[in-house]
Every structure is written in C-alpha cells, then in structure tokens.
C-alpha cells in the first residue's frame, strides 16, 4: 500500500526526472546546404515529406528537398524566375498545387510596392512526365512586400496573405483570383518607427479559430479570432501572445500536430525559440555566436510517420546579420529533433543575450542599443 507521502515522493521523483529529460540544445543535423549566397526565406513540408523552400537572394527560386528524413536527401531546383527577384512564402492549397508569394525588391527586404502577388506552382503535370505549370494568379497593386501565406483550414483555395509594408492581411481566392482586405490591426501588425526596414507583420498560422502572426521588429507573436471565411471575428482585436527576448523574430510554426507550442526563428541571433502554452519561452537550439542555425528564418514540422517530431529549419546563412560580424554561409535546412523538449517542463526562460525592449522608442535610441557588430553591417 502506497501512502499519501509515498505518492507525493513518487510525484516529485517523476517531476525531477522530467526536468532532467530536457537536454538543451536539442540535437540537430544538416539536411542540405545551398551555395553562397543563397538566402532561403520560407519552408513548407508537403504530406509526402518533400520540403519546398523559396529564396529571396540572389534571385527568386523554388527548390525541393526530398528524402530529408534519410541519410541521402536530395535537393533539386524547381524554378528560377526572371519576372521577380523574391519568392517569400509558400503553402499547399490542394494536392500537388502550391501557392506562393513573389515580387520585386530593390534590396534585400525592401519590396517594390505593387509588384507582389500570389503565384501558383502546379505539380500535377509531373505525374504524366510533364513540367510544372507556374503562373501569377493575383497581383495586388495596393500592396507592399507580401511576406506570409496561410490556407484556410476549411477552404484551402482561399489564402490569407500578410503585407509587411502595409501592416495588414489580405484574403485571396486562388480560384476566382480576387482579393480583399481580411484583417487590419495597426498596433500589432505595423512596423515600429525605429525599424531598419518597413517590415511589420511576417509569418502567419491558423489554429483553433485564431490567426497567429509574428511582428518581426517587435519580436512578438500576436493573434486574433477569425471567422471560418478568413475575416476578423466581429469585435475581435489583436492580442499579444508572447514577446520574445530577441532583436528580431522572423517566422514561426505551431506543433507538433495540434500542439499549440510556438517554434520561432530569431534570424538576427541565430536561434530557435519554443514558447509553450503556459507562456514559457526557451531557446532550444542555436546561439548568437554559432553557425549552427546561422540566420534561422523559417521552421516547419515533418509530415511522414516517425518524422512528425522533427522540426525542419530553413536559414538565410546570416547574410543580413553575419555571425560575429563577418561570417556568412549559404542557406541550409537543418533538422531539429524536438522529442527531448517536454511541453510541461519547468525550465525558466533563457536569459536573453540581446534583450532590448523598445516598442515605442526612437530610431536613434535603437541604434545606440544595437550591438556594434550588427550596426556596422547595416551602415555599410
């Protein structure tokens, strides 16, 4: 017979074992590295396990990495564009049909207004030995740099698109080729006045009736209740989910599966952060002075059986923020094993290496706080 004291001791023992099971940083491996300079910008893992990534430098390209969960992955070029020079985000809207965002930028991260739109990559002809069909579906002349794309769960041909320059979300029907404003929340979607580039809302994800997004320069994740049709719910307003202690937050994903843990790529300081449902943020891989996740920009979970706890992270090679001020590399895809991270762990939030809080500060104040290795690069 186990007494109440015994139960308590056993519970404490299990709790202690659980804490010790969290071994950080999480183990990882490089799946594929691209040549320098290749800036990967987004990642989408298809149901068959193929990983599609887009680039924004030195050109707009789409690549496919197959067999990423094996010892012999292969990377192949799907297409390089002449019409545009930035392909920012990609998602699947129906089997073998993907929608992605593309346009022109004057320099890295500086989109040319009116040039971005929603494009389509149709892979179905490949089943009969043909080439993929690529076309622009919808141009948004009023838009700026379109950054993130997410398909509605119940109508995947309709996508929500984040406009980083304008600070809003467009709703695009890829079948009728029509678009309209879906969500606008200036306080949480617009870029702050001290931002280096006009880049506000970035990555998008939908879970349990909420649209989640990252605001990169605020290093924060927000959400808003939406309707099934992709509009802001009546009376809904953007609300803060988590402010990350980092200079920058690029894109993020939720998972694994229906788990609402947030996995964010911090880009400027080369890390991967996990935010559990209780609000605890933990840096689980990478480091500001390491090349492990140099310029982490976009994470996405594996989809094949046995691989759904693997988080694939695309990187930029630290081309905007060189590691230690000088080191860059070609972008790569890194597989992170998340099984050692327990959702109910009690690890305290990591102490920020770079932890400034300046949502209402001025541009000069921001420069004064920025580490010199970053500032010197931006002023070149």
Give how far Cα 318 sits from Cα of 261, 295, 331, 374, Å: 25, 4, 8, 11
User: Is the Cβ–Cβ distance between 259 and 275 less than 8 Å?
Assistant: no
User: Is the Cβ–Cβ distance between 261 and 277 less than 8 Å?
Assistant: yes
What is the widest separation between alpha-carbon atoms in the chain? 75
Show the tokens assigned to 19.
Answer: 């804490």
User: Is the Cβ–Cβ distance between 266 and 249 less than 8 Å?
Assistant: yes
Q: Residue 106: is it exposed, middle or buried by C-beta count within 10 angstroms (0-12/13-18/19+)?
A: exposed
The sign of the dihedral angle between the CA atoms of 344, 345, 347, 350 is negative
Is the bond into 361 cis (omega within 30 degrees of 0)? no
Where residue 189 falls (left for φ over 0; alpha for ψ -120 to 50; beta otherwise) is: alpha
For residue 350, which of 341, 337, 361, 339 has the smallest C-alpha distance? 341
DSSP characters over 103-139 = E-EEETTEEPTT--EEEEEE-GGGGGT-PPEEEEEEE
Show the tokens assigned to 49.
Answer: 């396990």
Give residue-wise pLDDT tens across range 88-104.
999 999 999 999 999 99
The whole-number pLDDT of residue 354 equals 30
> Quick check: 165 pLDDT over 90?
yes
**Which element (helix H / strand E) includes 222?**
strand 220-225
The whole-number pLDDT of residue 183 equals 98
Show the tokens assigned to 30.
Answer: 């490089």
Say how far apart CA 148 and CA 331 lie, in whole Å. 19
What is the arithmetic mean of pLDDT over 128-141?
A: 96
Give residue-wise pLDDT tens across range 320-371.
999 999 999 999 999 999 999 955 443 333 333 333 333 333 334 434 444 4
To which residue do tokens 């094996």 refer? 70
Q: Residue 225: is it exposed, middle or buried by C-beta count within 10 angstroms (0-12/13-18/19+)?
A: middle
The percentage of residues in the chain with a pLDDT greater than 90, rounded to a whole number, is 82
To which residue do tokens 């691989």 refer? 307
* pLDDT confidence bin for 118, thresholds 50/70/90: very high
């Amino acid at each position: 017979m186990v007494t109440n004291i015994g139960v308590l001791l056993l519970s404490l023992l299990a709790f202690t074992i659980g804490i010790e099971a969290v071994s950080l940083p999480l183990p990882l491996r490089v799946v594929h590295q691209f040549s320098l300079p290749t800036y990967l910008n987004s990642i989408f893992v298809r149901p068959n396990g193929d990983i599609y990534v887009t680039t924004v430098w030195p050109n707009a390209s789409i690549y496919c990495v197959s067999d990423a969960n094996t010892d012999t992955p292969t990377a192949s070029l799907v297409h390089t564009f002449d019409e545009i020079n930035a392909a920012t985000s990609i998602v699947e809207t129906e089997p073998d049909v993907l929608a992605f965002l593309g346009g022109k930028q004057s320099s890295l991260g500086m989109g040319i207004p009116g040039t971005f739109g929603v494009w389509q990559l149709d892979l179905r002809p490949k089943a009969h030995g043909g080439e993929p069909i690529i076309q622009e579906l919808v141009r948004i002349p009023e838009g700026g740099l379109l950054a993130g794309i997410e398909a509605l769960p119940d109508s995947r041909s309709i996508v929500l698109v984040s406009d980083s320059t304008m600070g809003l979300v467009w709703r695009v029907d890829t079948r009728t080729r029509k678009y309209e404003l879906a969500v606008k929340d200036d306080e949480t979607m617009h870029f702050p006045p001290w931002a280096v580039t006009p880049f506000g809302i970035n990555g998008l994800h939908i879970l349990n009736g909420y649209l989640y997004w990252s605001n990169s320069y605020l290093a924060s994740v927000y959400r808003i209740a939406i309707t099934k049709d992709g509009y802001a719910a009546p009376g809904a307003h953007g609300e803060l989910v988590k402010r990350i202690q980092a200079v920058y937050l690029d894109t993020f994903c939720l998972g694994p599966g229906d788990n609402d843990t947030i996995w964010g790529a911090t880009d400027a300081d080369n890390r991967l952060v996990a935010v559990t449902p209780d609000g605890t943020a933990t840096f689980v891989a990478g480091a500001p002075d390491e090349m492990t996740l140099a310029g982490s920009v976009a994470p996405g979970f594996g989809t094949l059986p046995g691989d759904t706890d693997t988080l694939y992270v695309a990187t930029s090679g630290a081309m905007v923020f060189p590691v230690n001020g000088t080191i860059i590399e070609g972008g790569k895809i890194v597989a992170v094993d998340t099984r050692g991270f327990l959702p109910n762990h009690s690890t305290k939030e990591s102490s920020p290496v770079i932890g400034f809080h300046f949502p209402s500060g001025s541009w000069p104040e921001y420069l004064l706080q920025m580490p010199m290795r970053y500032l010197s690069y931006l002023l070149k």
